[in-house]
Amino acid sequence: MAALFHDTGHLPFSHAAERELLPDDWNHEMLTAEIIRSDEMIKIWNDLKIQTEDVVKLAIGKRYCKDCNFTDWEAILSEIIVGDALGVDRMDYLLRDSHHTGVAYGKFDHHRLIETMRILPKSYNDGSKEPALGVEDGGLHAVESMLLARYFMYTQLYFHRVRRIYDIHLKEFLKKWLQNGFFPTDVENHLQTTDNEVLAGLFKVVRDQTHPGHEYAERIVTRNHFRLLYDRKQEDISKNLEAPKAIYNELCKKFGEKNVRYDTDKQRGGDSDFPVYLNSNRRIVSSLSISDVLPKIPIAAIDFIYINSNCRSTATKWLNANRERIIKPSTEE
């Protein structure tokens, strides 16, 4: 039940602009919890003899169920659903997104992975142990393949420059289209606000030139989105860790804030350290100590700066002429 309900709190178009379009201190996990705790669902949990709070706890995990106490067993169950390294939510979204977008990078041998998953004692340097989700050594390549798939899906799809600018324009449209600029947080209205409602609203606003969201809706529908001017370069980062932000600030001064957009994001979650059971000598070791692949998988990160297509050519020339000056490292005052 917790796994089935895990994603029910998602807004239309999923993660696009969730932070900006929900009131302060709200996120989609809290909406999931609200749905699970709704009167309609409580009747069902009672019939099934399931404790409502158990479902909430396992569905959203400790990160978002901050005041809940988790036993070792509950922590493992929750990790199976929402865990960073081996959670089924991750397996599901990678395979689903890969299938629906035709991006083949997201595929991996999930049958093998699930078959070899085990609850194993994770060891610490003084010999103490705690139960954690891990795999038998025969499943290690399947995990490597999944975590590589995640990296490729981030770089090729989730962090794709064109997909990201559509998110930005969609957020701009929604900010003007939604009542008070926010999605509703009560269960009934949340469930009634779907992708279809947003798309219908978008096309309506395209025909209404007086609507404050008209410009953004039109950009999406006519594909006249802002164009990529700059993306994160390791060469620039190694000179100035804030190089993209510095470039964005200078572009705003030169071309005006309304013509420039900045998008920054990094993959979240911890490292891929989980226990691996070695069948040959019945030992349990850290995944990162025996895998040649896992420690080398990069962390996906983006810094995109977009420009209104009207100024693209001038901005490109200007940036080429000024980039080195802008990214010159500074020391704090």
Partner 1 sequence: MKRLQTDAVLLSLIEHMESKGSWCGETHIQKTCYLLEELFEDQLGLEFIFYKHGPYSFDLSDELTAMRADNIIKLRTKVQFYGPSLLPAENSQLIKNTYPKTIKKFEPIVKFISENFSSYGVPTLEKISTALYVTRKEDTDGSVGDRSMAIHKLNPHVTVEEARKTVKSIDLIIENAKGISFSTT
Binding site for partner 1 (CB under 8 A): 62-63, 66, 70, 72, 75, 122-126, 128, 130, 234, 237-242, 266-271, 273, 285-286, 288-290, 295, 298-301, 329-333
Q: Is the Cβ of residue 228 or residue 285 nearer to partner 1 in the bound state? A: 285
In angstroms, the CA 307 to CA 315 distance is 8
Q: Is the Cβ of residue 188 or residue 235 nearer to partner 1 in the bound state? A: 235
Q: Is the Cβ of residue 191 or residue 299 nearer to partner 1 in the bound state? A: 299
Apex 198 CA angle, 195 and 201, nearest 5: 150
In angstroms, the CA 158 to CA 215 distance is 25
8 A C-beta contact, residue 193 and residue 183? yes
Q: Is the Cβ of residue 223 or residue 268 nearer to partner 1 in the bound state? A: 268
- Closest contact distance (angstroms) between CB of 54 and partner 1 is 17
- Closest contact distance (angstroms) between CB of 217 and partner 1 is 33
Q: Mention every residue, 6+ apart, whose C-beta is less than 8 A from residue 329.
A: 239, 240
- Closest contact distance (angstroms) between CB of 269 and partner 1 is 6
Element (H, E) at 192: helix 187-192
N- to C-terminal Cα separation, the chain: 54
47-75 burial string, b = 16+ CB within 10 Å, else e?
Answer: eeeeebebbbbbbbbbebbeebebeeebb
With 0-12 / 13-18 / 19 or more C-beta atoms within 10 angstroms meaning exposed / middle / buried, residue 188 is exposed
Question: Length of the chain in residues, anyone?
Answer: 333
Q: Is the Cβ of residue 66 or residue 111 nearer to partner 1 in the bound state? A: 66
In angstroms, the CA 93 to CA 106 distance is 9
- Closest contact distance (angstroms) between CB of 8 and partner 1 is 21
Apex 202 CA angle, 17 and 9, nearest 5: 40
Q: Is the Cβ of residue 130 or residue 257 nearer to partner 1 in the bound state? A: 130
- Closest contact distance (angstroms) between CB of 122 and partner 1 is 8
- Closest contact distance (angstroms) between CB of 287 and partner 1 is 9
- Closest contact distance (angstroms) between CB of 230 and partner 1 is 17
Cα torsion for 283, 286, 287, 291, to the nearest 10°? -80
Q: Is the Cβ of residue 181 or residue 269 nearer to partner 1 in the bound state? A: 269
